[in-house]
Structure 1
Amino acid sequence: MHIVLETAELLGLICSELAAANAHESLATLARTSPAFTESALDALWLSQDTIFNLIRLLPDDLWALDTEKRVVFIRATNETDFALFLQYTKRVRHLTCSVFYMGRGLPSGAQWVNMRMVFDSLFDRFRHTVIFPNIRRLGWVVRNTEHYNPWLSLFLGPFLHSIDVAYAGIGSDALLSLIRQSTSVQSLTHCRLSGAPVSLPAMQHVSALLQRLTAVKELVISNLDVPATQTLGQLKHLKTLDIFLPVPADAPLGSIVAHSLPFSSLESLTTTVDNSCGGDLQQLHDFFQLWEAGSVPLRTLQTTVIDEIPSAGLLKDIFCLLADGCAPNTLQTMIFVLQANDRVIRASTTSPHIGVALRPLLRMASLSNVNIELPFGIHVDDSFLGDAAQSWPHLKRLTLARSQADPDDTVTGPIPPSVPPPRSPRPRATLLGLAALAQHCLQLEYLSLSVDTTIPAPESWPDILGLGSTAPTAGSKPWPERNTCPLTCFNTRDSPVTNPPCGGLVSRCYVPQSPGNQDTAYDALRDI
């Protein structure tokens, strides 16, 4: 094959066109009719398959057909010769997605979908003891469970499989059972995604048994764990990336596990979701962080999304305190904590936007460079917090303390409680004076989203820039710098009450300089309110 044809973009275009072709022009038809397709240089055409239907097309025409219900069926007895070409090309597949129903392109004329359940049964009967995908690296399994156990997944496992994505629903957990019984293939997995695990005791027991075999896993997406599964999770020595939906407290009371007993010794990235889909709550998040051995987790990135629950300031402070206790020193760089809620939840909450005290445990993590915390009614901090943050986070590049967007899946029905919601927009306690500390000490700060009181401060507090006033420092304070040097390019003050935008913009310009490419950043941010 010409070397130009190995260009990734061109190869992708060729594969897309072949996938869209009809039955007479398909990749399988070309493979059956052209001897040149047996060359190893064309293996790349089979590298990634989103269905096994192309492979079924390699079988003799008189072996299979579509019945009246669009099922692929074998219409005669099979023999070894029938599968010679099929087995020759399954060796070339590296990435495969399997589903009983295929509704993609390239289907026989008049068919909008095909059902391959009977093909799976026939293939399993013939090849249950044979590795037919010896070179597969990545497998996507989107086969729904049935009323009876099916072991089909074992057909598609191979010795080099390192990534599997299992989506399952219904009452059983057939895919999990197949994985548990194929211990050799499972032990080599480095990436595993288990989506939509049923909230049932057998399924969670299967998850726990599977985790014990994932000894090499580095990246894991999982939900609905029980207590033994959680304990196993914390002992995985190679786990670097974890995406977890916190389990239902009734099924997995994380608070019952011995505190500070799980090392998570390699965990670098953690994504947690707390919502009604799995019945989790923020107390579960608190108890999850409480399991970490003190100072043992080398976490670099934390992203937490909470939907339809607003914690008290006390619980929020405890969560952040446990997080700071569990993380290894000077590792956490990105902290994203977003709470979304619908109107009903917001009206029922008594939490105040003034939660600076709850955020103070985060000041212990000096390595933070990206801090993004959002609440449904905003966040207000004072100048004291900003001053301490500037001293504690010298590497800060992005700081967002803002109002979160509404719950995107808001399905509230029924009457809204008639109670008057608590005030959600009290005047911010941070002032333009508080920005000076950030500008002076955070020399890498590029983005700032903060609620600020833009009332003009007393003249004696102004820096001597543009002739605004005196530079005389108060007793014991340091003189203003001639010009702050942080490279701020975006200053978002949308949640700030501005009574005099021109004056506010002028003063903010003194405290937070504009970069050469954004001369009107401060003015625009204030003028657009």
Structure 2
Amino acid sequence: MHACLKLEEILREIFSQADYKSLTIFARTCRLFYEPALNAIYSDLLSIEPLIKRLPEDLWSASSGGLVIRRPLRIQDWEAFAGYSRRVRSLRLRWFASDVQLYRAISSPPDSSFLLPNLRAFTWHCLSNRSAGLDTMIAFMRLLLNHNLAEAQLTVSEYALTAFSDLGCTSLRKLVIQSPNAPISANVTEEVICSHSALKSLACGEITVRALHHLSQFPSLSRLTIGLGDDVPSALTFARSPFRKLRYLTINSKSIDPCLSMLKATNWNIRCFHHRMDVAYDPAGRGVLLELLPLQLSHESLKCISLFSDATPRLDDDPITNPLLLNPLFRFKHLRILELSGSIIPALDNTGLLKLAEAWPQLQVLIFQQKAGRYHVPRMDLTGLVLFLEHCPDLYQLTLSVNAIIDTKAPPVPPVSTGSTNNTRITSIDFCNSPISKAAEVAAFLSAITPNLQKTSSWTGAVMPDSGGTVQEYRRRWDSVAEMVPVFAAVRKQEREACIMRTQAKRHVGRK
């Protein structure tokens, strides 16, 4: 056996890529593989049942409602349980009333070290409110969640979140709180936040202003996703040196004002800024936000801007805004990701797209996607893509509407493939609400600038074209483009290789 396979770090990496069947084979292959393979098998569990099934068969039985414990666990049962539970690093639990008896049976270990002593990540799904037996599960979790727990992801009801807060997991570094059925009171969320000052990452719903002040002084907080209500004061202020370590900020709000208040409260040295506005349709407010960003955010450190508006405009509202509103963002010279999606989108033509490319030559991701409102024929065409890719060689993700209606009298000529126009990183493009007439001509053009394009998507939102074609026709044509681009690209490659061979042959003949 090679000496490298005797290193635990290498075996751990190998086994982390293997499936369950392969791991069981590894565990039976040799003694050297036994422990690392078992560690990989039990490192991430979807429930507690796999540990119970390692116990003697006279202790448990399977039924349609789950496992049934037949007798109390003896010391030898607990020792066998601990032999596997110590390997668990991540556990996911869902609340089922049928599991109450199972939790009750394993809630009396000889010592707390018998229950997953190395657990680091915990996921809990519980949307119940005071169900019979839920207290039994929470009592089990109190034993389970030790002081070494680092991550918790909670999809819970308000009652369940309150119960989790009382467990005292003060060691948490990452916390995610979700409540899909009903919003959790900001006051309840505040209680949870204030008891976890060691957090490095937090994602939750709406919080109080008081909780926001607490977060501003968390010494290690680097990632923050929060919801802000309309009660945020316009003259919001923080204590000295707020959010010192924060690098990733996401704000969700119903209107633009809470976001503006928070940004004005201090200067932000962050890498990524995201804002989602769910209710208010406010193009003017979006313009104010774009002007404020370069005043409050570091020009050197900011790499990503993502702005999303989910509000549906009225029939008389125009979702297309003046592209000049983007000009303040040109001060962020190191921008790599820009996303503007939803119901407020700037109307860019080829010239405007070129200005974006010249301002952000390091751009890697560009997303301009209208998802609601009246349809407007895109002002950009295929020629604009050539200019854009020429100035942004690192681009690998593109979501953009272009006008791909081909003028039969003056069809676009595919550019000569050069290093500056040939982007090999892009394999998929979302063409959003792009009209298209002749799929073959478009595919021939794209094969010269994106030869590795394999997939296209289009017309996935609620925006419908006014005339000139149907959504189904446009989708079918874009699907055909994705099928033809690799063929055209292969032909171009063969032509280049044949040309090179002919040139070399002529030089060889000339030397003779």
Q: Same fold (TM over 0.5)?
A: yes
| 1:199-278 matched pairs, under 5 angstroms | 199-201=183-185, 204-244=186-226, 246-249=227-230, 253-255=231-233, 258-259=236-237, 263-272=242-251, 274=252
CA contact (8 A) 2:91 2:122 kept: yes
Residue 297 in 1 paired to residue 269 in 2? yes
| Deviation per residue, 1:141-190 (Å, 9 max, x gap) | 234452575433222223432222222126443542333x34xxx22x22
| 1:14-25 matched pairs, under 5 angstroms | 14=21
SS in 1 for 2:346: coil
List gaps (5 residues or longer) in structure 1.
Answer: 19-26, 31-35, 102-113, 275-279, 407-421, 460-464, 467-482
Look up the match of 2:161: 173
| Deviation per residue, 1:114-162 (Å, 9 max, x gap) | 9221232343355696662221222222344525754332222234322
Look up the match of 1:146: 130
SS in 1 for 2:148: coil
| Partner Cα distance (1:378, 1:387) in 2 | 17
Amino acid in the other structure paired with 1:116? D
Amino acid in the other structure paired with 1:194? I
Amino acid in the other structure paired with 2:52? I
Look up the match of 2:83: 88
Q: 1:271/1:190 Cα in 2 relative to 1: closer, same or farther (>3 Å)?
A: same
Residue 52 in 1 paired to residue 87 in 2? no
CA contact (8 A) 1:71 1:117 kept: no
Q: 1:129/1:97 Cα in 2 relative to 1: closer, same or farther (>3 Å)?
A: same
Q: 1:166/1:240 Cα in 2 relative to 1: closer, same or farther (>3 Å)?
A: same
Q: 1:288/1:123 Cα in 2 relative to 1: closer, same or farther (>3 Å)?
A: farther
Shift of 1:11: 4.8
Shift of 1:380: 0.8
| Partner Cα distance (1:484, 1:133) in 2 | 55
Q: 1:380 aligns with which of 347, 369, 373?
A: 347
Q: 1:263/1:299 Cα in 2 relative to 1: closer, same or farther (>3 Å)?
A: farther
Q: 2:100 aligns with which of 117, 133, 137?
A: 117
Root-mean-square deviation (CA, aligned residues, Å) is 5.1
| Deviation per residue, 1:273-297 (Å, 9 max, x gap) | x5xxxxx413365246425522x33
Shift of 1:385: 4.5
CA contact (8 A) 2:236 2:265 kept: no
Q: 2:15 aligns with which of 8, 18, 22?
A: 8
Q: 1:236/1:385 Cα in 2 relative to 1: closer, same or farther (>3 Å)?
A: farther
CA contact (8 A) 1:400 1:450 kept: no
Look up the match of 1:366: 333
Between the two proteins, the alignment pairs up a number of residues equal to: 435
Residue 403 in 1 paired to residue 365 in 2? no
Amino acid in the other structure paired with 2:271? L
Q: 1:146/1:399 Cα in 2 relative to 1: closer, same or farther (>3 Å)?
A: same
CA contact (8 A) 1:379 1:402 kept: no
| Partner Cα distance (1:51, 1:516) in 2 | 46
CA contact (8 A) 2:236 2:262 kept: no
| Partner Cα distance (1:287, 1:395) in 2 | 27
CA contact (8 A) 1:191 1:220 kept: yes
| Mean Cα deviation higher: 52-61 or 490-499 | 490-499
List gaps (5 residues or longer) in structure 2.
Answer: 454-476, 482-512
Look up the match of 1:97: 92
CA contact (8 A) 2:369 2:399 kept: no
| Partner Cα distance (2:33, 2:356) in 1 | 64
Q: 1:239/1:377 Cα in 2 relative to 1: closer, same or farther (>3 Å)?
A: closer
Shift of 1:318: 1.9
| 1:24-63 matched pairs, under 5 angstroms | 40-41=35-36, 43-44=38-39, 45-63=41-59
| 1:281-320 matched pairs, under 5 angstroms | 281-283=254-256, 286-287=259-260, 289-290=262-263, 293-294=266-267, 296-300=268-272, 302-306=273-277, 309=279, 311-320=281-290
Look up the match of 1:156: 144
| 1:477-516 matched pairs, under 5 angstroms | 485-487=420-422, 514-515=448-449
Query: Greater share of helix residues, 1 or 2?
Result: 2
Amino acid in the other structure paired with 2:317? T
